[in-house]
Amino acid sequence: MALQVHFIEIPARIWETEPGSRPFKELAKDAVGMERRIEKGVNVTEERERYALICNWIEQQALDLLSQGGSQRFHAWGTRGDESRKAEMYLLLTEEIQKFSLSDLDRIARHQSEQAFRVSLRSMVESARNWLRACLERKPARREQAAWRFKSNWNSLMLAIGLPGKPHVYPVSRHRVGKSFFAPGGEVQAQWMLYERLDESLVGAGMLSVAEERATFYRMADRAGSAMIEILTTSD
């Protein structure tokens, strides 16, 4: 049985508006709320069942979107024989991250705080220029896309400013290894910053290349102002 990890990039506009019955954005909020209740020990059995159902629904909607060409980019580990080891190493890596001490996370967070502000400010200024250029060119489609990107980058900047010295750190949750939903802006940005800062003092040398590649996936999504959905699957 082969393990596979899929990284599906979701454009910000689709994240906030699709699927029509309930957008990814709202589904992800529901999942996070369930996760918090599980961690607090509130109706754990019922919440775990609901959580599994909503995770499966989000994954299926992301895969449907991918098949329809709605995803900007798609990456996968384990779909080819030479990459099967990456999927296995990634699961080991997420287990290692769960073992991090508070001092480990604080050290990463201090670096993230400074870097988050610089990256967010630069991205916000660039997206503002693109938005203005699209408005001057009177191209509605480009203007709409540029507006969504500016909004996402503005929110990231506000997040960086509002959390001096203690930015959000988003390690993969132990309740959803391989099933992660990261919103455009701050959450996607925090992912590539976290994995980019890993070193041999925190994880094994063999995991670093996987961490670096994952960070690249998320950096690309962040530049595009997209969300990211990870899906863990198995095949014979």
Tens of pLDDT, residue by residue, the chain (236 residues): 577 889 999 999 999 999 888 999 999 999 888 888 888 888 888 988 898 889 889 988 999 988 888 777 888 888 666 667 888 888 888 877 766 654 555 555 555 555 555 566 566 567 667 766 777 776 677 777 766 666 666 665 555 544 443 334 333 333 333 457 899 988 888 888 888 878 776 777 778 889 999 999 999 999 999 999 998 887 66
Tell whether 182 is covered by a domain. Answer: yes
Q: What is the pLDDT of residue 116?
A: 58
Tell whether 52 is covered by a domain. Answer: no
Tell whether 225 is covered by a domain. Answer: yes
pTM for the model stands at 0.68
Task: Quote the number of domains for the chain.
Answer: 1
Domain range holding 184?
A: 2-8+72-103+167-235
Phi/psi at 158 (5° precision) = -65, -35
Tell whether 189 is covered by a domain. Answer: yes
Tell whether 97 is covered by a domain. Answer: yes
Tell whether 190 is covered by a domain. Answer: yes
Tell whether 119 is covered by a domain. Answer: no
